[in-house]
Structure 1
């Protein structure tokens, strides 16, 4: 199914769950579908509920994007295959109403490439996380007791082809992505490195003690 036919549904979900504007800006137009699977039976689905025990390990990440054959050919001929950064962030730390640790950085891996069908030019494949550069090791969701549901947001960013010598660095701390400014995080970090948001998926998780 062409991405254009489901973009409105994605945008509606992001606004309904207030990922827009809490984590990303309004007007975001997805250029890829981001599928997250912790197991064959447990996946992330735009706001579904998962248990912290189900999400403690790094998931499999699949990306489908609407590259055209000509775009892929041009990228290959110029030896500049697009690279991507994947992050996981929690805007509800320690709770939806208390933002002193928000956003909490759970994961950053950079330098990822998307497998592409050479015949169709359509990218559809599992990201090889082992070939990326992990800036912040994966930290599974651990919402504190009695803090309600937390939103855990995966974001896939396209990296600029020309970095101008600026190497991405991890935030100095996980809470507030090291800014010490409540309710800040990945948006400012991504802008610092000229990252272009390509795809989003998210889920809810809460502590068993409520």
Structure 2
């Protein structure tokens, strides 16, 4: 499983069996696949997330973190929280930044040193039902002459 190879399972979450389909796209024609390397200019836009649950009575929470922020060689902010979207009903589409009508989770104290496991335990979220990870390429700074 690529989530194990990418150290998502182990470093970020405990072992789980995916049971809900989830697709993430930053461009309409290319879904994100596990382990894919993406350029920063592409992921600066809001992603589109499709959660394929089968029960409208279920709701989902999506968490996006950077497990080795700010860089793999010096991850002193490890695990950095980028965003959380809550109360996503099953069989629906969600777009980052969509406002939700109710909050079912307690907000984290800080984005720095966020811990997905602890956050999930504190909010009774249980094990993940799906997961996708990608790697962001570093964009070279323009050189001054």
For the aligned pair, the TM-score class normalised by the smaller chain equals 0.7 to 0.9
Q: In structure 2, do the counterparts of structure 1 residues 203 and 49 end up closer, same or farther at CA, with 3 Å as the change threshold?
A: same
Asked whether 1:63 is paired with 2:51, we answer yes
Task: Determine the C-alpha separation between the residues in 2 that align with 1:57 and 1:172.
Answer: 25
Moved over 3 A (4+): none
Q: In structure 2, do the counterparts of structure 1 residues 42 and 133 end up closer, same or farther at CA, with 3 Å as the change threshold?
A: farther
Relative to the length of structure 2, the TM-score reads: 0.83
Number of corresponding residues = 139
Asked whether 1:206 is paired with 2:137, we answer yes
Q: Of the two structures, which has the highest relative contact order with CA contacts closer than 8 Å and spacing of 6 or more? A: 2
Task: Determine the C-alpha separation between the residues in 2 that align with 1:198 and 1:38.
Answer: 21
Pairing partner for 2:94 from 127, 135, 144: 127
Give the deviation of 1:128 after TM superposition. Answer: 6.0
Asked whether 1:103 is paired with 2:79, we answer yes
Task: Determine the C-alpha separation between the residues in 1 that align with 2:70 and 2:77.
Answer: 6
Check the 8 A contact 1:112/1:128 in 2, yes or no.
no
Higher-Rg structure is: 1
Equivalent residue runs for 1:75-154 within 5 Å: 81-115=57-91, 125-127=92-94, 130=98, 132=100
Task: Determine the C-alpha separation between the residues in 2 that align with 1:24 and 1:110.
Answer: 18
Q: 1:195 maps to which residue?
A: 125
Q: 1:38 maps to which residue?
A: 26
Q: In structure 2, do the counterparts of structure 1 residues 108 and 18 end up closer, same or farther at CA, with 3 Å as the change threshold?
A: same
Give the structure with the larger helix fraction: 1
What are the ranges of 5 or more consecutive residues in structure 2 without an aligned counterpart?
none
